[in-house]
Amino acid sequence: MSKKGKILVTGGTGYIGSHTTVELIEQGYEVVIIDNLSNSDAFIVDRIEQITDIRPKFYEFDLLDTDKLDNFFKENADLVGIIHFAAAKAVGESVEIPLHYYRNNLVPMINILEAMKKYKIENFVFSSSCTVYGQPDELPVTENAPVKPAESPYGYTKQVNENILNDTIKSGANIKGIALRYFNPIGAHHSGLIGELPKGVPNNLLPFITQTAYGLRKQLSVFGEDYNTPDGSCIRDYIHVVDLAKAHIVAIERLIDGKNKNSYEMFNIGTGNGFSVFEVIKSFEQSTGEKLNYKVVARRAGDIEQIWADTTIGNNELGWKATKTLDEMTLSAWKWEQNYRKDLN
């Protein structure tokens, strides 16, 4: 076992999970992954090994399966912490199939926390989301902003999971938890070996942009240009996925080292800058030299108008800061798309 200890990453072959796994391994941790591959591919484990020269142990099963989960914890009772990403994550899709989101996103959280109590594992980082804020009254949004009624079942599952974690900790369970409320992760690892790989039609802006530029999609749809924003399109706080992955390492180490100030904490993880959909398109065209075919269509259900983070508390408490520019984010996403498609041919 590595001298730094063993970390479980659920959803570790997924987009953020795979980048976090790479950062953990490079920081000297042993990583084990649980993933059911519902929105990822097993070859990502090979890619993680290519980048780090170390192959994380991979368990393919669903966190709804309590027998398999219990067997996993019996085998890995020496875990020092868990970073929990595994979840369905598309806002629009959650409006269409809410029951899938409630079952798939809430029950695994309960199952993992019960296993943590049983096997006496203390440290837990939860992949939360800025969707817990709904459309904030004031921008930028701070951690003290009220959690408003969610705009989508996806956003609601993040709110409920935060409550489940907090209530479990308050109940006297010997668990310490951090919820990282992150904004919009984009971009890819500088190696071009891992990146965002949605199954089917992408729900997120950047993969739709890169797939359109590559010729896989005829046209990019911009959902609405009549929002109350400078150019009429929605505004988000986009953060490079590697910056985001590094925030998870800092968070789990805060818990392992006992530097947390409360047994449950939450932090915004973003850049503190808001960019509109049109600004992201412009950045992509500038950084890559590719022209995008796009058209404006009607607004999409569940989308909020604008949100970006006040990152002061997270920056100060975690000693972490996002470093990468929007152009770096869009260019890295394009390099990943090209690499991935080239390897398929």
Q: Which residues are catalytic?
A: 154
- Classify residue 261 by burial, with Cβ atoms within 10 Å: 0-12, 13-18, 19+: exposed
Picking from 130, 155, 168, 109, the residue whose alpha carbon sits closest to that of residue 314 is: 130
Do 313 and 143 contact (CB within 8 A), yes or no?
A: yes
Do 46 and 71 contact (CB within 8 A), yes or no?
A: no
What share of residues in the chain are helix, strand, coil (percent, to 5)?
40, 20, 40
Q: Which residues have a Cβ under 8 Å from the Cβ of 107 and sit 6 or more positions away? A: 63, 64
Task: Name the H helices within 35-182.
Answer: 43-52, 66-75, 91-96, 98-119, 153-170
